[in-house]
Amino acid sequence: MRYFKVFVFALIALLFSACGNKKNDSTNTNGTSTTTHKLKIVSLVPSITKEIVRLGLKDNIIGATSYCDISKDNPELIVGSALEVNEEKIILLKPDIVFASTLVKDKSIAILKKNGIRVEYAGKYTSFDEICRNFEKLATVLNRKNKALQIISKAKLKIDSLEQNIPDNKVGESIFFQLGANPIATVIPNTFMNDFISFSKCKNIFQDLDKLIVSRESVVLRNPDIIIISLMGGVGAQEKENWEKYKSINAVKNDRIFTVNSASTPTVKDFVDNLEIIIKKIYFEN
């Protein structure tokens, strides 16, 4: 069951990317400047919770989900999951602002708003650039725009450096990027995770798809040069063994199956950190 939950949340970020924000008529991070010295924040989005902490506002967080990193050492902060929230507990906390995903039930959002609580929705994440734009909007709402711009600038410089160091004579290889095992899920276009592949100057074997779920047979037929498996609750190693049985795949022939820690968190820092690991595995570890 634990593995299933990890897999589900590995897909949530991609679903945001592929489907966008369905609640465009709601209040969004609009750049409104807000004084933060007394600002009380509830975050129902694990990636936004991470970004708030990186903006130096950890002490402003009075509520978070059970999936937020901050809750591991502070269980008293838990007000629900990313899908189910305890509206009564949030209301009693009297937050100034709640950050929510479009996965939170409309009924829950309506209850919060009825009680005078400001709700901001997470943006969509179709690319690294969009991650940066959403981070800047979040920081503007929290009066930390300059801090966010510094983080974004540093991240882009790092990406430029990583790309410049890619050997020109090795670019253009095909990649299967696996996210789930049962069912098998993959990275698709119009998601920020597809940028891991394009920034690495490689090709996604499923560039033509608009759905996440694929079969083993389709992977074998498309014959990737590289297989990257995002670790999901410990099943990455097992999946590597599963693929090694398919001797006709180029990635298997050349021993180019790699595992990485979960790369599905849409934050500026996590994206750059994972991109660096992926580029090193593709070009410098063989």
For the chain, which residues make up each domain, given as ranges?
A: 17-156, 167-283
- CA separation for the pair 230, 117 (Å, rounded): 37
Whether the per-residue pLDDT at 22 is higher than 50: the answer is no
Return the CATH number of the domain spanning residue range 17-156.
3.40.50.1980
- How far apart, in whole angstroms, are the C-alpha atoms of residue 166 and residue 284? 9
Query: 167-283 belongs to which homologous superfamily?
Result: Nitrogenase molybdenum iron protein domain (3.40.50.1980)
pTM: 0.86
Residue 17's pLDDT band (boundaries 50, 70, 90)?
low
Q: How far is CA 222 from the centre of its chain?
A: 26
**Coil/strand/helix, residue 228:** strand
Residue 89 has pLDDT above 90, yes or no: yes
Mean pLDDT of 171-195: 94
Relative orientation angle of helices 128-141 and 268-283, to the nearest 10 degrees: 160
Q: Does 17-156 match 167-283 in CATH topology?
A: yes
120-133 pLDDT tens trace: 999 889 999 999 99
